[in-house]
Structure 1
């Protein structure tokens, strides 16, 4: 079931500790499913672990979390080859596509080898909700900050650009994230940059930010813009608290 308009939920969260399992799907994932408008059947949740190398134990944990939530999880694996014949057809059958964290630089390179940069634009335009955490947030933007290249954070500039902004993730939990975003925006290396504390998501309708949402009380979203004389300015966007199921 397609969403009413092209929809992206880009987050720094989505998982919570499990009661009997390692983890469960958090309110951000449930919100992505709600955005799809699916009803009357088990939601179809496509899952991509490309950024972590499609590790089978990770996929198994996500399977279990989806089962507990009543969702049908279907992973798209690209290592060592795609596990489906028709990648675009597979993605179009999903209600939500959730992209996990890891190396955003490697994710983008592998996706382009398989034509997913063009495919995801068509899937997004068709109304499948695109969502994810960390690397799975940055990928939908033009650029962002990443530790994909080594321990020192750097800019990455080859995001899919479905939304025309840069993205900063883990804004409150990794000390270099916030100052580096400010430095790169002030220097003009990043454009307008939307950032999320851990547990917060950015909801885009089409190419514009509709709202910020959070699964953790007190956390924030932010927009960083360039001002005159090479300075950056940060404005907090107060997120709406999502209800826990």
Structure 2
């Protein structure tokens, strides 16, 4: 079991797509960072959860393919139609890194709570397992954010796991509804202030403190978004550290 401080890596990045779709995924540099945050074990254990896409078998297979031949020991935890491991708690606590894929954060949170994973993830976080993910896999660790879980018009989600007691905005630069809705929800108090990421950027938390901002491409940044005067939101750009 890892012995690092409680760590969350919340991103709008992850695998690098290839020309043949998921079958040609490659791990982006954010995965090297996740392993580094876990203490750089010689044979890092990484568990993938694709709950947000209904445990799509193609996504699971793509993750295994992406790490084939590497030093990373990959496993997955699927919950449909039943859990793929006999003891969810023991499996997750044995990991160095947990990576949560994107998709429907609303469905992800509901299914996780049915299986008491909200409690297990808090225990794993406190034990030093690095909790990480992209999009829904970023939002889930926070109080909430903006989501397309309910349809093409974005809506707030406010029942995240709350390990990080702030809000989170993903795809801040690439989906036109994201930034204005996130600002509005922070301004009116629906969401607490928090941090947002452009595609390609990520946030590193030790405990509940933001300690690093990273990116894997030029121009991508993160932002602090806080309530401002007169029912407004104030956004401050946070320049990232570029990952190799």
More strand by share: 2
Distance 1:17 1:132 in 2: 16
The answer to whether the Cα contact below 8 Å between 1:222 and 1:236 also exists between their aligned partners in 2 is yes
Partner of 1:54: 55
Q: Is the 8 A contact 1:38 1:95 kept in 2?
A: no
* TM-score, length of structure 2 as denominator length: 0.96
Deviations 1:148-174 (A, max 9, x none): 001100000000000011000000100
Say if 2:11 is the partner of 1:11: yes
The CA RMSD over aligned residues, in Å, is 1.3
Aligned residues: 242
Task: After TM superposition, list the pairs within 5 Å mapping 1:23-172 onto structure 2.
Answer: 23-40=25-42, 42-172=43-173
> Tell me, what secondary structure is at the counterpart of 1:111?
helix
Report the Cα offset of residue 68 of structure 1.
4.3
Q: Deviations over 1:142-197 (max 9, x none)?
A: 01000000110000000000001100000010011001111111111111121000
Structure 1 unaligned regions, length at least 5: none
Q: Is the 8 A contact 1:145 1:154 kept in 2?
A: yes
Q: Deviation at 1:37?
A: 1.0
Q: Secondary structure at the match of 1:142?
A: strand
Question: C-alpha offsets along residues 61-84 of structure 1, whole Å, 9 cap, x if unaligned?
Answer: 110002244311100010001111
Map 1:183-222 onto structure 2 (within 5 A). Answer: 183-222=184-223
In 1, the alpha carbon distance for the partners of 2:87 and 2:28 equals: 30
Could you say which residue in structure 1 is the equivalent of 2:243? 242
Separation in structure 1 between the aligned mates of residue 108 and residue 2 of structure 2, nearest angstrom:
25
Any conservation in 1 of the 2:4–2:129 contact (CA below 8 Å)? no
Alignment check: 8 A CA contact 1:3 1:129 kept: no
Contact 1:3 1:35 in 2 (8 A): no
SS in 1 for 2:32: helix
